[in-house]
Structure 1
């Protein structure tokens, strides 16, 4: 699976993240409201966001979201962990989508919905399931995932941040549920 494709929708162009995107993305990420429900709530700080940004570049799979009207960077999202059945014979082929940052002025305007539709359409050419890992108290992201057809699974991920427990819940969309779901039944 190409984890850094160029994908184009009605309003967005998604392209591989580049080091030159730092200024535009940090301008978005430096707003504490972006991280208020996130387990890593201090990612608005430059030193903390720098680790996030450098990790995205190093691991590949990160995309910059470009507003087609004016060419500005309005966010980012990633294709993260890719699992093939040969990695675990009991498991479906899957990829994680997430690590999304979007400029607040576009929240609730259908932009995240379009971004996820483009990414899901691409992913389902290669995998059977897409997973989304979300902080358990990140209700903004959880509601957004449910609105695009994400189903809460019984799987969780427990990490530690600043010496505190950070529980993430896992949502999933299968190729079949995507084909029948809200992103394919109407416009974004």
Structure 2
């Protein structure tokens, strides 16, 4: 099996489709709500010019996806694989966001499960950067079995450096 950080993935309800330039408007429609970014380290991504930079970084990462509800074809948000480290046999999952109407519906755990089930065929450890004040995401990741292992300054693509917690899920813990 060929290893790719941008495969098409799907379950019964959702698809992860590699992000392309043509996805900007549909994704910005979801991202343009300031509430989406309230707990995020970069709270102004709802502004078009700031989101344009975020989107450019997502497309250039070649690991980003749009999250699509299969039944309606609606774009719900975005996520990505990034920073694959061959020596440590690890990768990050992150840059995830959803529109507010997707919150509290159990969508994120299904998306993360899809991503983890796939990527653990190739790596031993998955890391996540989560903003220090992003309590929703911290709780969500702890529910998935993520353990906080560090705190570090993260420089997002073309954005200011922010303090993030690093969480980790190991392959052997995930499947036990």
Normalising by the smaller structure, the TM-score range is over 0.9
Matched, 1:126 2:122: yes
Q: Is the 8 A contact 1:21 1:73 kept in 2?
A: no
Determine helix, strand or coil for the equivalent of 1:53: helix
Match of 1:152 among 148, 155, 160: 148
Match of 2:67 in 1: 65
Alpha-carbon distance change, 164 to 67 in structure 1, aligned in 2, over 3 angstroms: closer
Is residue 30–residue 75 contact of structure 2 (8 Å, CA) maintained in 1? no
Question: Following TM superposition, by how much is the alpha carbon of 1:164 offset from its aligned partner in structure 2, in angstroms?
Answer: 7.6
SS of the counterpart of 2:142?
helix
Among 79, 100, 104, the alignment partner of 2:100 is 104
Q: Name 1:186's counterpart in structure 2.
A: none
Alignment partners' CA distance in 2, 1:173 and 1:99: 17
Secondary structure of the residue aligned to 1:44 is coil
Structure 1 unpaired stretches of 5+ = 86-91, 181-188
After superposition, the C-alpha distances for 1:37-83 in whole angstroms (9 at most, x for unaligned) are 11101010000000000111112100111101111111110001000
1:38 matched residue in structure 2: 40
Q: Which residue of 2 aligns with 1:93?
A: 89
**Residue 18 and residue 165 in structure 1: after superposition, are their counterparts in 2 closer, same or farther (change >3 A)?**
closer
**1:113 alignment partner, SS class:** helix
User: Any idea what SS the aligned residue of 2:168 has?
Assistant: strand
CA contact (8 A) 1:76 1:102 kept: yes
1:37 aligned counterpart, secondary structure: coil
Q: Look at both structures and tell me which one has the larger radius of gyration over its CA atoms.
A: 1
**For 1:148-177, what per-residue CA distance to the aligned partner results, in whole angstroms no more than 9, with x for missing partners?**
111111x2221479x986210000001011
Q: CA RMSD in A?
A: 1.8
Q: Which residue of the partner structure matches residue 56 of structure 1? A: 58
Report what 1:9 is aligned to.
Answer: 11
Residue of structure 2 aligned with 1:24, choices 23, 26, 31: 26
Which residue does the alignment assign to 2:171?
175
Runs of 4+ in 1 over 6 A off after TM superposition: none
CA–CA separation in structure 2 for the residues paired with 1:107 and 1:98: 17
